[in-house]
Amino acid sequence: MIALTSRAAAGAYEDARAYLAQRLPRNVAKHVPTTRPDLLFLGIGLLLTCCVGPPASAPEKAQQTPGWTYDAENARDILETCATCHGRNGEGGKDGAYPRLAGFDERYIVRQLRAFQTRERVNIPMFPYATERELPPEDARDVARLLSQIELRTEMPSPKADMSALERLLAAQAVFRVPRVDGDVERGAEIYEAECSDCHGEEGWGEDDVPPLAGQHTNYLRRQIRYFRSGERINDDMDGVLDGLDENDLEDLFAYLASRDD
Ligand code: HEC
Ligand code: HEC
């Protein structure tokens, strides 16, 4: 279980920020935000905690960690902490400052958490949450599985649907759709098909443990592409795949990806 209170989290965040600001190269350190994350929403998140539960027939995808069995209640407790930034349903927020995680392959989520922990992937806001003390491997597995099982809706429930007020509220909160992006959708589709679909799956919805690009906040994708290009984020599979693409190509790609959940 995560033991962070919002105050402890804020303190840990400040500590991590100060620590990393000292050690990071200047060009990275200057991106370290000076405001702490908005933890006020934690309270609201807790109040509204929902029960987007795992479907009983969910496939067992992940490899087993010895001695680990899925603990759904623990997963929901942990998700309350993540929800401060990633949203109650893992839908992400703040126009892509926080990525969507809902429906992601659990192996990918676990791998990223590990990468944050070892600082192979540097992420200042996440750092205090991903440490071994706050998020031991079993907890990472639990929350990753819960996130992988959350299905976001792209439409508000119909006014005619037979639902209680609470069910309607919860359903409305799980609605997420990527806003349209200016660009040539057809050209984006061609580029996607030729350059990305082998790994990121048909129409961008991810494949095996390669993350989806469709259904993700565009600004988050823009930022990750910048990180891959600058070498701040490194992945063998992604090495070189962006080389031939200019800004126009990328905007067309984003326009295509943003249209997938229409
Ligand atoms: C204080 C805000 C904050 C909290 C709390 C937080 N995260 Fe994050 N998380 C971020 C940010 C910001 C990013 C994007 C970093 C980047 O741009 O590289 C991120 C990225 C991620 C990613 C990578 C997504 C991808 O597509 O590669 C995963 C996985 C993740 N977070 C999981 C979690 C989990 C699980 C929790 C709860 C234990 C959590 N986060 C709590 C801010 C937060
Ligand atoms: C050879 C396989 C491969 C190809 C081709 C490929 N990718 Fe990836 N991509 C990956 C893998 C694997 C990851 C996850 C990296 C990690 O684990 O950190 C990834 C991650 C990403 C991410 C970060 C996603 C996130 O949630 O953080 C973006 C953005 C991305 N790729 C964009 C693209 C685009 C755009 C193309 C086509 C121009 C492309 N990729 C082609 C394998 C590939």
Local confidence band at 238 (pLDDT 50, 70, 90 cut-offs): very high
Kindly state the percentage of the chain with pLDDT values over 90: 64
Q: Whose Cα sits closest to atom 7 in ligand 2?
A: 238
Whether residue 28 has pLDDT greater than 70: no
Q: What is the DSSP string of the chain?
A: -----HHHHHHHHHHHHHHHHHHS-HHHHTTS-SSPP-THHHHHHHHT----PPPTT----SPPPTT----HHHHHHHHHHHHHHH-TTS--BGGGTB---TT--HHHHHHHHHHHHTTSS--TTTHHHHSTTTS-HHHHHHHHHHHHH---BSSPPPTTS---HHHHHHHHHTB--PPP-SS-HHHHHHHIIIIIHHHH-GGGS-BTTBPPSTTS-HHHHHHHHHHHHHTSS--TTTTTTTTT--HHHHHHHHHHHHTTT-
> What residue spans in the chain does CATH classification 1.10.760.10 cover?
6-149, 185-258
Q: Whose Cα sits closest to atom 26 in ligand 2?
A: 211
- The model carries a pTM of 0.81
Whether residue 53 has pLDDT greater than 90: no
What pLDDT sits at residue 64? 54
Residue 210 CB–ligand 2 contact under 6 Å: yes
Local confidence band at 133 (pLDDT 50, 70, 90 cut-offs): confident
Summarize pLDDT for 90-105 with one digit per residue, the tens.
999 999 999 999 999 9
Distance 193 CA to ligand 1 centre (A): 28
Whether residue 121 has pLDDT greater than 80: yes
Instruction: Average the pLDDT over each of 47-56, 59-68, 128-137, 248-257 and give the range with the smallest value.
Output: 47-56
Instruction: Average the pLDDT over each of 26-35, 108-117, 225-234 and give the range with the smallest value.
Output: 26-35
Specify the fold of 6-149: Cytochrome Bc1 Complex; Chain D, domain 2 (1.10.760)
What pLDDT sits at residue 5? 43
Specify the fold of 185-258: Cytochrome Bc1 Complex; Chain D, domain 2 (1.10.760)
What pLDDT sits at residue 132? 84
